[in-house]
Amino acid sequence: MILKGSQRSGGKQLGLHLLREDQNEHVEVHEVSGFVSETVLGAMKEAQALSKGTRCQQYLFSVSLNPPASESAGVEVFERALRLIEEKMGLIDQPRVIVFHEKEGRRHCHAVWSRIDAQTMSAKPLPFFKSKLRDVAKQLFIENGWELPKGFESREQRDPRNFTLEEWQQANRAGLDAKQLKGLAQEAWAMSDNSAAFTRALEERGLFLARGDRRSHVAVTLNGDVFALSRLTGVRMKEVAARLGDPASLPSISERLSALGGDMAARMKSHIAEAKRIASSAMKPLHERKQALQTQHKVERQRLQAGQAKRLKSEQADRASKIRHGIKGAWDVLTGRYWKQRRENERDALLAVQRDRNQRDELLRQQMAERRALQVEIAAKRTQHATQVLKLYRHAVEFREMARAGQSRDYGRGLELGR
């Protein structure tokens, strides 16, 4: 299970993020404990108010828990992970909020603890929390029989094309696949040993070197999207500067885009726009199926929850009827019958809770299997169209080079979308 944690403030913003249904297909508030309030936003306000009595600025500790994409982890697996985290971090009995999110056939958990100890009015220290979370994560992979990611075995084996959410969103807005984009930039970097060779290799892949607003090296696309070069290549800024030289010698982003705009014909832009329009149209039926599946799953969960609540009420009444009152009840206490029946009722109640949880876990497993199957189709379609857009960017570079040679008119007529 991948664990990512951070110390932070901004309780209200975090609470709103945890409850966002527009970015998640299902949101389930699993627990709000240790707070007077029973709501997520109320708990976040309490944590912030309590922190005012201390000097602590980052009064929250937030952790996201993500099982492997191919695994369906039950609630007990997440609860085990939370116990291990609390033990490792010294957060046992601290107020916490637990929220489950589901998206694209995957279920993950967000846990937020208040760091403020109400008894001492001081913040719980969290030294080396990243390495501690990594240890817990590795333990969870082993306990559950999941295949360890290579990054756990050796830092050198981590996928260099891993990207942050911000990078993925930026590439997604540009109509590109973030992993493909990083792969292209890293390929160009690996095959070049100087600035001229890297610039040439980058341009062959539809990316162009420029000087960023903060005097750093950036890559721009013909569509005007800008990406930090150190992030794309996975190389430190110092190493980038050592190989490519001072970015001051490069054209600015606006100068680069102006030059590229002169080279790129309007028809090329229209081809790229058309490819994106086709991609959007092709994705529409899949998104409609996703929406229908989301609604269906929500109805099934509500039906199960209502059925379990009705059965629980009936079972509670049945257990209560086995406890006699009055003179008979007093006699049962004296003879021990009352205590025997009480233990039996408690055992039955515990078994009923476990049964209901198992039923819900089984329903979630079935639903996520359906959702993952659909996600495979969605991912394949996204990859297909992202590849087409990347090819069009490469064609745009070829178009510019042929235009310089006086062949742009013939080449433009022969260009086919996505080839």
Q: What is the pLDDT of residues 100-155, one digit of tens each?
A: 999 888 899 999 999 999 889 999 999 999 999 999 999 999 888 888 877 665 55
Q: Is residue 214 part of a domain?
A: yes
Counting beta carbons within 10 angstroms of the beta carbon of residue 113, is it exposed (0 to 12), middle (13 to 18) or buried (19 or more)? buried
pLDDT at 140: 92
Residue 316 lies in a domain: yes
Whole-number Cα distances in Å, 26 to 104, 106, 113, 378: 10, 10, 22, 18
User: Which of 129, 157, 185 is the last residue before a domain boundary?
Assistant: 157
Q: What's the pLDDT score for residue 62?
A: 94
pLDDT tens for 32-45 read 999 999 999 999 99
Which of residues 124, 157, 190 is at a domain's end? 157
pLDDT value of residue 408: 32
Q: How many domains does the chain have?
A: 3
Among 292-296, 382-386, 402-406, name the most confident range: 292-296
Q: Are residues 309 and 255 in the same domain?
A: no
> Please, which pLDDT band fits residue 171 given cuts at 50, 70 and 90?
low
Find the mean pLDDT for residues 167-191: 74
- Do 11 and 138 lie in one domain? The reply is yes
Tell me which range, 152-156, 215-219, 362-366, 393-397, is most confidently predicted by mean pLDDT. 362-366
pLDDT of residue 37: 92
Query: Is position 414 within any domain?
Result: no
Q: Is residue 379 part of a domain?
A: yes
CB under 8 Å to 274, separation ≥6 — which residues? 417
Residue 357: CB atoms within 10 Å = 14
Is residue 35 located within the same domain as residue 114? Answer: yes
On whether both 47 and 8 belong to a single domain, the answer is yes
The whole-number pLDDT of residue 384 equals 79
- Give the containing element (helix H, strand E) for 217: strand 217-220
Distance, CA of 240 to CA of 195 (rounded, Å): 9
User: Sign of the CA dihedral 49, 50, 52, 57?
Assistant: negative
- Label residue 234 left, alpha or beta by phi (over 0 means left) and psi (-120 to 50 means alpha): left
DSSP string of 89-148, one letter each residue: HT-TT--EEEEEEEETTEEEEEEEEE-EETTTTEEPP-TTHHHHHHHHHHHHHHHTTPPP
pLDDT score, position 32: 94
> pLDDT of 43-72, one tens digit each?
999 999 999 989 899 999 999 999 987 787
For the chain, the average pLDDT equals 83
Tally of CB atoms within 10 A around 368:
20
- Choice between 10 and 260, residue whose per-residue pLDDT is larger: 10
In-domain check, residue 312: yes
What is the pLDDT, as a whole number, of residue 414?
Answer: 32
Question: In this predicted structure, which of 153-162, 215-224, 299-308 has the lowest mean pLDDT?
Answer: 153-162
Task: Please give the torsion angle defined by the CA atoms of residues 326, 329, 334 and 339, in that order, rounded to the nearest 10 degrees.
Answer: -150
> What pLDDT is recorded for position 223?
65
Residues 258 and 213 in one domain: yes
Are 228 and 272 in a shared domain? no
CB distance 101 to 110 below 8 Å: yes
The whole model's pTM is what? Answer: 0.62
Whether 415 has a pLDDT exceeding 80, the answer reads no
Q: Are residues 113 and 209 in the same domain?
A: no
pLDDT at residue 399 greater than cutoff 50: yes
3-state helix, strand, coil in the chain (%, to 5): 60, 15, 25
Q: Is residue 176 part of a domain?
A: yes
Assess whether 127 and 13 both reside in one domain.
yes
The parent domain of residue 210 ranges over 165-263
Which residue from 178, 147, 134 is spatially nearest to 160, judged by alpha carbons? 178
Of 238, 263, 288, the domain-final residue:
263
Q: What's the whole-number mean pLDDT along residues 157-180? A: 61
Percent above pLDDT 90 for the chain: 36
Q: What are the pLDDT digits (tens) for 75-96?
A: 899 999 999 999 999 999 999 9
pLDDT value at residue 136? 93
* Mean pLDDT of the 343-370 span: 90
On whether residue 415 sits in a domain, the answer given is no
Higher-pLDDT residue of 203 and 402 is 203
**Could you tell me which residue, 184 or 311, shows the higher pLDDT?**
311
Instruction: List the CATH number of the domain containing 151.
Output: 3.30.930
- pLDDT given for residue 410 in this prediction: 34
Q: Render pLDDT for 199-257 as a digit per residue (tens, 0 to 9).
A: 888 888 778 888 887 778 888 876 677 888 888 888 888 888 888 888 888 888 877 77
